[in-house]
Structure 1
Amino acid sequence: MLPSFALVCLSIAIIESLAGILGTGIILATCSSSCIGSKSWSSYNMIMISLSSSRFILHSWTTLDLLMNIFYEPFFDTEILLTAAKIIFAILNYSSLWFGGWLSVFYCIKVASFTQSFFIWLKQRISTFVTIRKDNLGVLILSSAGIGMPLILSVVSSILLIRSLWIHTRRMQNNASGFRDPSLEAHISAIKSVCYFLILYIIYFI
């Protein structure tokens, strides 16, 4: 039998996981419903469905793992089962990090204003980079082992996006007539949102 303190911690973790299931489930249902009946899915919807699906499965697996620790602790006494549980968690966790990194790259390429030919080329071909085919599933699973790359992608793309938005915001401030500009406020809000996302992503990665 687990100590009382451990039971309290596990119970709190289960509540957090259930909240995660609810939140990602709503996002997954919303994105999926917008794709029903559509012949082609947008890059954004594909990334969001992949990200929310991986997070939904991850939270579900975590909840199951925590419940097994409370009600059937001997289940993980077998080394094979314990190893399998760790591998499944790692794959789901790293997949979430990868999809989160691709989401940052997507926003950077779609929103940031760059005149360099490389970024213009990326803007035109972003859809081909995020198209996931069934025959690439094995490659995706293998590539999930490299958890450093999605962090680098997320940090670099977020910094580039923040820089682009900041430069554009400064230009709008210089040209402002003194009245409250909704577009200016929207840019400032976007900068804050990207900063918050980057901070939360790094914390989760750690």
Structure 2
Amino acid sequence: MLTGLDMIFLILSIVEFIIGMLGNVFIGLLNCSEWVKNQSISLADFIFTCLAISRIMQLLASLFNSLTMGLPMLVFGHTYKQAKALTLFWRIANHLSNCFATCLSIFYLLKIAHFSHSFFLWLKWRMNKVVLVILVLSLFFLIFDILLLETFNDLFLNGSNFTSHIDESKTLYVETMTLLSLTCLFPLVLSLTSVLLLFLSLVRHIRNLQLSNMGSRDSSTEVHKKAIKMVMSFFFLVIINFFATQVANWILLMFAKSKFAKFVLLAVYIFPSGHSFLLILGNSKLRQTAVRYCSILKAS
């Protein structure tokens, strides 16, 4: 029998899931349709599409986890195999989401920033290869993450029930999840570097304009500011996602019997749901298409 808190938790989870799916499915379908129609796709649109697909996977994993937490155990038996598969699927989706968002941050940096240093120019001329290298490095991190997760999972698996092992090893499990989350440092460092370099490029650009008596506002300045907002939005959302995941792991294990503990999971939806709408607002093509479709729906 569902309680009132269970119903509220499930409703909020489904609402956040639908909001996130609307934004990510819109991005994915629009770019895929243009890919098929033009028989080609730009690097930016490719990253947007892959990012949307990984976010859809992330939202599906989060929804299933919410259903597992919110519905009675008779509906979803929380066995070790189910928990292991769900954890693996969520970590893969979360890793891919961070990876493609990091690629987008690097793309904005190399596309917009202006530096005369030879190494930066070398990277700028080889933008496609730089993104490919980041994807390959991220794949190695993902493999390491999965192997590490499997190693620690074996500590809780001796043919017994998953829940009983967690109850006996709560501290070890929290430490394990914290160690596994260190793989998020790679996208965080790259994103923070992108923000700082974009900001430095903007400051130098404005200073050059002022020295040339051209004021401090032009098209390049606005592009810099927009790129900084986009990269910073990802950076802060990743931090929110990181801490929300850690707090959720800790609270759900230490206070599993609390009726309010599961509500911490709602914060995990913020990253895949919120960032997609920030991308739509920050991209002129996506924003204009979304406005056009909204006008059509409103007129009908």
Interval of TM-score (by shorter of Structure 1 and Structure 2): 0.7 to 0.9
Q: Percent identity?
A: 32
Distance 1:123 1:143, change over 3 A: farther
Q: How does 1:161-176 map to 2 (within 5 A)?
A: 161-175=198-212
Please report how far the alpha carbon of residue 126 of structure 1 lies from its aligned counterpart in structure 2 after TM superposition: 1.6
* Cα RMSD after superposing both structures: 3.1
Match of 2:236 among 183, 199, 202: 199
* TM-score, structure 2 normalization: 0.58
Cα distance per residue 1:75-98 (max 9 Å; x no partner): 242111111111111111121111
Equivalent residues in 2 for 1:79-94, closer than 5 Å: 79-94=80-95
Aligned to 2:191: 154
Q: Is this contact kept in 2: 1:108–1:160, CA < 8 A?
A: yes
Bigger Rg, structure 1 or 2: 2
- Summarize the Cα distance change of 1:179–1:45 in structure 2 as closer, same or farther, 3 Å threshold: closer
Q: Which has the higher contact order (CA 8 A, sep 6+)?
A: 2
Residues 51-106 of structure 1: CA deviation (Å, up to 9, x unaligned)? 11000121123223323444453424211111111111111112111111111111
The CA distance in 1 between the partners of 2:140 and 2:112, in whole Å, is 29
- In structure 2, do the counterparts of structure 1 residues 158 and 138 end up closer, same or farther at CA, with 3 Å as the change threshold? closer
- Larger CA deviation: 148-157 vs 193-202: 193-202
AA aligned to 2:197 is L
Distance 1:107 1:143 in 2: 28
C-alpha distance 112-7 of structure 1, shift in aligned 2 (>3 A): same
Name whichever of 19-28 and 188-197 sits farther off.
188-197
Deviates more, 1:74-83 or 1:151-160: 74-83
Matched, 1:123 2:160: no
Gaps of 5+ in 2: 147-182, 244-300
Corresponding position of 2:53? 53
Deviation at 1:201, TM superposition (A): 3.0
Matched with 2:96 is 95
Structure 1 length-normalised TM: 0.81
Q: Tell me by how many angstroms 1:176 deviates.
A: 5.2
Conservation of the 8 A alpha-carbon contact between 1:151 and 1:205: no
- Deviation at residue 182 of structure 1 after TM alignment: 6.0
Q: Residues 153 and 136 (structure 1 numbering): CA distance in 2 closer, same or farther, change over 3 Å?
A: closer
Contact 1:108/1:161 (<8 A) preserved: yes
Using the alignment, how far apart are the partners of 2:35 and 2:144 within structure 1? Answer: 27
Amino acid in structure 2 at the alignment position of 1:30: L
Provide the C-alpha distance between the structure 1 equivalents of 2:224 and 2:33, rounded to a whole number of angstroms: 29
Give a deviation string over 1:107-132, Cα, whole Å, max 9, x none: 11111111111111111212123349
The answer (yes or no) to whether the contact 2:54–2:93 under 8 Å persists in 1 is: yes
CA distance in 2: counterparts of 1:50 and 1:10, whole angstroms: 28
Task: Kindly provide the amino acid, as one letter, of the partner of residue 131 in structure 2.
Answer: V
Structure 1 residues 149 and 191, CA, compared in 2 at 3 Å: closer, same or farther?
closer
Ranges in structure 1 where 5+ consecutive residues have no aligned partner: none
Decide which moves more: 48-57 or 170-179: 170-179
